[in-house]
Amino acid sequence: MFTDARGLTLTTSSEAAAGHFSAAIDDYLDYRLSASAKIKMALDEDPDFVLALYFRTCFLQMLETGAVLPKVNAAVGEMKGRLASVTPRERAHVMALEAWAQGDIIGACRLWEDILAEHPLDILALKLHHYLTFWTGRSYAMRGGVARALPAWNADTPGYASIQGMYAFGLEECGEYAAAERWGREAVERNGEDLWAIHAVAHVLEMQGRTAEGVKWLDFSEDRWAGRNPFIGHVWWHGALFNLSQGNYDAALSLYDERMCAVNSKFYVDMQNQVSLLKRLELRGVEVGDRWEALADHGETRIDDHILAFNDVHFCLALAAAGRSDSAQRHISSMAAFGDIDSGWTASTMAATTVPLCQALVAYEAGNYGGTCDILWPLKDDITAIGGSHAQRDMFAQILCDAALRDGRFAMARSLYSERVSLRPSSRMNWQYYADALDGLGEAGAAAAARIQAAAAPEPAA
Ligand SMILES: [Fe+2]
């Protein structure tokens, strides 16, 4: 028996394996590709090290595709055969992974919460809980998971900056922007390598419309983040959003072509980032050429692969945006069937949220803007179950706004843009479209006033 960097017992006969395992956690928290190699080193030292095998299998599961499930289930079976020799904490981790692989995401989160109640320094449980509360859109559960552990930590606890970064992001998703920024910036000061904390601050800047600050915050050279895993593509996505809001469309497209697509990854987060940026560019009238084709080609391979609802929605949008409406419809039918036969979280979102959302997207891409409004208007405040962040889900709000204007539903558009100018008055685009809606209603005076606001808005995007 040895311990990790925070003193938690590890069932392994090898001190070197325990060291490699702790180092792998550190690398994972900083999104370093080297984490996998260190887990392998731990298993080379001690092939019976259950928690190292668990960690390696979590990485596999985090590819979020059904293609990995046979390997994941085989590894879980192997680990379950060794549970008699490990600690209750390690046993609970294995059971959480089993639940996760079965689609029981909530069950997995509850097991990690049980672990954390006993062992609040279990940063692996904390990070995985953070990860899956995020992909189920449960902001308060995400914030609560960190907050419940926080009193057990202090500045001298190894990994403290990561806890601060996670707390910052949980606060941000709960709308506590000032506290989120404070915790996030402190985390980055403590560990400038902590991409999640950098990302948490970027979310605050995005949600508050501080996009000029955002461009500077993420103005890193590409090689600054060499050796990081594909999460770096999501950080570049945030950089592209800031540039978009600043009207720097060429810069956004350069980030897309040169960084977000640089590794030609089919990793699900890369796909989400790329779909989301292309659609936002198009919503601003930017021509994106044939860029949808590669995304749709990959979407064709995921039509029956329902692991995360957030994936499904983005794959479906890629198909529809590329004009492949038949494939998009097959995807929707497959989602509906999955919702009928599976009992996990993702399946539970299908009937009420994911399928209608996808139907709205397909309608939008077909030019059926009225159909888009009919579906999305009543659904607009009830899509968090698909997971992701407020910033990511805002794409659907933007699509509804655009559909309302295009379909001449000016009262709906006025209402939607009233919300947007109230929450993000720094956006020139919001004010301009708000003015268009008011013009549509014949409210020329109010429209003129909105255009004055637009001219004064610090986000210069037209
Ligand atoms: Fe993000």
DSSP characters for 27-65? HHHTTBTHHHHHHHHHHHH-TT-HHHHHHHHHHHHTT-S
Q: How far, in Å, is the centroid of ligand 1 from the Cα of 3?
A: 33
How far apart are the C-alpha atoms of 134 and 319, rounded to whole Å? 25
Whether the per-residue pLDDT at 101 is higher than 70: the answer is: yes
Q: What residues does 228 pair with on adjacent strands?
A: 32
CA distances (Å), origin 90, targets 14, 53, 56, 238 = 16, 11, 14, 36
Phi and psi at 367, nearest 5°, equal 80, 10
Q: How far, in Å, is the centroid of ligand 1 from the Cα of 196?
A: 9
Cβ atoms within 10 Å of 418's Cβ, excluding its own: 15
Contact 3, 10 (CB under 8 A): yes
How far apart are the C-alpha atoms of 313 and 325, rounded to whole Å? 14
Q: How far, in Å, is the centroid of ligand 1 from the Cα of 234?
A: 6
Q: How far, in Å, is the centroid of ligand 1 from the Cα of 211?
A: 14
Q: How far, in Å, is the centroid of ligand 1 from the Cα of 416?
A: 23
Q: How far, in Å, is the centroid of ligand 1 from the Cα of 236?
A: 10
Is 195 strand, coil or helix? helix
* Residue-by-residue DSSP string for 320-340: HHTT-HHHHHHHHHHHHHHHH
Q: How far, in Å, is the centroid of ligand 1 from the Cα of 81?
A: 38
Q: How far, in Å, is the centroid of ligand 1 from the Cα of 24?
A: 23
Tokens (6 digits) for 170:
């949980």
Burial of 210 (0-12, 13-18, 19+ CB in 10 A): buried
* Mean pLDDT to the nearest integer, 62-82: 97
* Mean pLDDT to the nearest integer, 100-112: 97
Cβ atoms within 10 Å of 420's Cβ, excluding its own: 19
**Residue 448, C-beta contacts closer than 8 angstroms, at least 6 positions apart:** 435
Is 228 strand, coil or helix? strand
Predicted local confidence at residue 263, as pLDDT: 64
Whether the per-residue pLDDT at 261 is higher than 70: the answer is: yes
Whether the per-residue pLDDT at 190 is higher than 60: the answer is: yes
Q: How far, in Å, is the centroid of ligand 1 from the Cα of 352?
A: 25
Q: How far, in Å, is the centroid of ligand 1 from the Cα of 17?
A: 33
Q: How far, in Å, is the centroid of ligand 1 from the Cα of 134?
A: 10
Predicted local confidence at residue 270, as pLDDT: 87
Contact 32, 231 (CB under 8 A): no
Tokens (6 digits) for 276:
């989301």
Q: How far, in Å, is the centroid of ligand 1 from the Cα of 137?
A: 13
Q: How far, in Å, is the centroid of ligand 1 from the Cα of 237?
A: 8
Q: How far, in Å, is the centroid of ligand 1 from the Cα of 420?
A: 20
Q: How far, in Å, is the centroid of ligand 1 from the Cα of 162?
A: 16
Q: How far, in Å, is the centroid of ligand 1 from the Cα of 235?
A: 7
The 8-class DSSP code of residue 225 comes to G
Q: How far, in Å, is the centroid of ligand 1 from the Cα of 389?
A: 6
Q: How far, in Å, is the centroid of ligand 1 from the Cα of 181?
A: 14
**Residue 416, C-beta contacts closer than 8 angstroms, at least 6 positions apart:** 397, 400, 401, 404, 437
Task: Tally the C-alpha atoms within 13 A of residue 429's C-alpha that lie toward its C-beta.
Answer: 16
The domain spans of the chain are 209-265, 408-456
Predicted local confidence at residue 267, as pLDDT: 80
Q: How far, in Å, is the centroid of ligand 1 from the Cα of 256?
A: 15
Q: How far, in Å, is the centroid of ligand 1 from the Cα of 204?
A: 10
Give the pLDDT confidence of 196-247 residue by residue, as tens digits: 999 999 999 999 999 999 999 999 998 899 999 889 999 999 999 999 999 9
Element housing 361 (H / E)? helix 355-365
Give the pLDDT confidence of 352-373 residue by residue, as tens digits: 999 999 999 999 999 999 999 9
Contact 328, 155 (CB under 8 A): no
Q: How far, in Å, is the centroid of ligand 1 from the Cα of 133?
A: 14
Tokens (6 digits) for 51:
């928690």
Q: How far, in Å, is the centroid of ligand 1 from the Cα of 56?
A: 24
Q: How far, in Å, is the centroid of ligand 1 from the Cα of 206?
A: 9
Whether the per-residue pLDDT at 264 is higher than 80: the answer is: no
CA dihedral 42, 43, 48, 51 (to 10 degrees): 60
Whether the per-residue pLDDT at 462 is higher than 60: the answer is: no
| Mean of the per-residue pLDDT values of the chain | 96
Q: How far, in Å, is the centroid of ligand 1 from the Cα of 239?
A: 10
* Residue-by-residue DSSP string for 421-454: HHH-TTBHHHHHHHHHHHHHTT-HHHHHHHHHHH
Percentage above 70 pLDDT, the chain: 99
Q: How far, in Å, is the centroid of ligand 1 from the Cα of 145?
A: 19
Report CA Rg, the chain. Answer: 23
Q: How far, in Å, is the centroid of ligand 1 from the Cα of 222?
A: 18
Q: How far, in Å, is the centroid of ligand 1 from the Cα of 143?
A: 15
Q: How far, in Å, is the centroid of ligand 1 from the Cα of 433?
A: 25
Whether the per-residue pLDDT at 296 is higher than 70: the answer is: yes
What predicted TM-score, i.e. pTM, was given to this entire model?
0.96
- Measured in whole angstroms, the distance separating CA 452 from the mean position of its chain's CA atoms is 35
Q: How far, in Å, is the centroid of ligand 1 from the Cα of 135?
A: 12
Tokens (6 digits) for 256:
């897309």
Give the pLDDT confidence of 155-180 residue by residue, as tens digits: 999 999 999 999 999 999 999 999 99
Could you tell me the pLDDT band of residue 458, with boundaries at 50, 70 and 90?
confident
Q: How far, in Å, is the centroid of ligand 1 from the Cα of 391?
A: 7
- Measured in whole angstroms, the distance separating CA 439 from the mean position of its chain's CA atoms is 37
Q: How far, in Å, is the centroid of ligand 1 from the Cα of 169?
A: 9
Of 79-93, 256-270, 366-380, 401-415, the one with minimum mean pLDDT is: 256-270
Whether the per-residue pLDDT at 265 is higher than 80: the answer is: no
Contact 367, 336 (CB under 8 A): no
